[in-house]
Amino acid sequence: MIVVGAGLAGCEAAYFLATHGEEVVLAEMKPKKFTPAHSDPNFCELVCSNSLKSDDVYGNACGLLKEEMRRLGSLTMEAAAFSRVPAGGALAVDRTRFAAYATQKLRSLPNLTVSGREVTSLPEAGIVATGPLTSDALAAEIAKRFGTLHFFDASAPVVSAESIDFSHTFVQDRYGNGTGDYLNCPLSKAEYEEFVNALLGAERAELHDFEKREIFEGCMPVEVMAARGADTLRFGPFKPVGLSSGGVRPYAVLQLRKENAAGTSYNLVGCQTNLKFAEQRRVFSLIPALKNAEFERYGVMHRNTYLESPSCLNADFSAKDALSLFFAGQMTGVEGYVESAMSGLFAGIHALRRLRGKETVVPPAETVSGALSRYISAPSPDFQPMNANYGILAGGFENVRDKKARRRLLAERSLTAIDSYARTLGI
């Protein structure tokens, strides 16, 4: 079977198929050709943040999704465990080690062949996981057959550790949840207001055909958030709640998170941006801790494409007009690294069953993976990308008022259901 695209989703699908006895061709155009957002020749390149979000199985929907995937043998979760870097309650990775690990695992499989070429037309059967930045030729083919939507996505800058002024920082995880994994840059009221004013007046990189409605709320550029109100950032990525320096809570706080295992680089948490590079340097340097910051990577913004999945995909990620053709990744309308990898894992599971003449089995609606699978295929007049969240889970435990207790019950139900699902599949 052919799998097109070696991002998180494609690699998950290829790995599942190959480790369950199928001959797999993994077609990837890198390193012969790169998209505007890619630079690493390895597979599974993380192009935005190095965080896979919360790892709290019993209190966070994305954390629960990760555990569901672990129980089904996810390559992404294995690579993340190998390359993990401290990030409090989040699962963050050294993106270079992460990609290298996944690449080595796939290339070592005897029944998996890597084809270094650009695929320009849809296969009759296989899995298409070319991501939100699908190459122009294949994107045109997909649009011609299924139609596409799009939104704009953004990434945050990365600065070198040695350029940070540590005298203007303090180490603490929000509410003490972690092992001192975040470096906090406090701002006084005057410093915060100066930063926001500069942010609002800064020049942005030009976006052709840009419309505000196309910005995905889950990856909102910091300058767009700031334009919504003077305190928007203080109630968002710069919130000081759960943090204190010398027993005093700052007016606002920018958090920095390690970008790699060595701790030589730091990511500006929540600061996705579309400012011009010179403007990023000028504006973020107004933060006292970053007054001499050296930027190793500037934030960028690019267009992500995704299918209007309810009209063309089934809950098993197969095309409604061709049941042996599957799609996976962000192009299906799931949003986020983990969600994208999940769709690839299940596209692989479903494709394997179809290859062997069996009916596909969608995971239970009580699981996050099952809820997302149903979300992308359910009729919707205004279909938008979706992250893992409790709102899409099948109902239950509404009589339990305590939120933590209710979420634990939902998680326990989900994990029982995914274990039963795995037994049904014979995994």
Predicted pLDDT at 101: 98
User: Is there a single domain that holds both residue 69 and residue 33?
Assistant: yes
Same-domain check for residues 143 and 282:
no
Return the HEC string of 78-125: HHHHHHEECCCCEEEECHHHHHHHHHHHHHCCCCEEEECCCCCCCCCC
pLDDT at residue 303, as a whole number: 73
Give the pLDDT of residue 37.
66
Look at residue 216 in the predicted model and tell me its pLDDT: 59
Q: What CATH number does the domain containing 277 carry?
A: 2.40.30.260
Instruction: Examine the domain organization and report whether 132 and 200 are in the same domain.
Output: no
Domain shared by 367 and 397, yes or no: yes
Whether residues 262 and 364 share a domain: the answer is: no
**Closest by Cα among 421, 402, 264 to 346:** 421
Q: What's at 121, amino acid-wise?
A: S
Same domain, 108 and 220: no
Q: pLDDT tens digits, residue range 393-406?
A: 988 898 999 989 99
Residues of the chain with pLDDT under 70: 36-37, 207-218
Please identify, among 278, 299, 320, the residue that sits at the C-terminal boundary of a domain: 299
3-state secondary structure of 167: helix
Tell me which of 252, 267, 299 is where a domain ends.
Answer: 299
Q: Is 426 exposed, middle or buried (0-12, 13-18, 19+ CB in 10 A)?
A: exposed
Same domain, 293 and 307: no
Question: What SS3 state is found at 262?
Answer: coil
User: pLDDT at position 149, please?
Assistant: 77
295 and 310 in a single domain? The answer is no
CATH code for the domain of 19: 3.50.50.60
User: Which ranges constitute the DSSP H helices of 184-289?
Assistant: 189-201, 222-226, 277-284
**Count of domains in the chain?**
2
71 contacts: CB under 8 Å, gap ≥ 6: 415, 418, 419, 422
Residue 104 identity (one-letter amino acid): Q
pLDDT at 301: 80
11-23, pLDDT tens digit by residue? Answer: 999 999 999 999 9
Kindly state whether residues 141 and 179 are assigned to the same domain: no
Q: Find, among 380, 312, 370, 381, the residue nearest to 343 by Cα.
A: 370
| Same domain as 253, residue 169 | yes
Tell me, yes or no, whether 38 and 111 share the same domain: yes
| Domain assignment of residue 244, given as a range | 158-299
To the nearest whole percent, how much of the chain has pLDDT over 90? 77
* The domain boundary residue, chosen from 279, 299, 319: 299
Long-range contact set of residues 16-20: C-beta below 8 Å, sequence gap at least 24: 16/73, 16/75, 16/345, 16/348, 16/349, 16/352, 17/348, 17/351, 17/352, 18/106, 18/109, 18/111, 18/112, 19/73, 19/109, 20/352
Give the pTM: 0.80
Indicate if 145 and 71 belong to the same structural domain. yes
Q: Which residues contact 63 (CB under 8 A, 6 or more apart)?
A: 53, 54, 55, 56, 57, 91
pLDDT tens readout for residues 130-168: 988 888 899 999 999 999 877 777 789 999 999 999 999
Structure tokens at 415: 């994990």
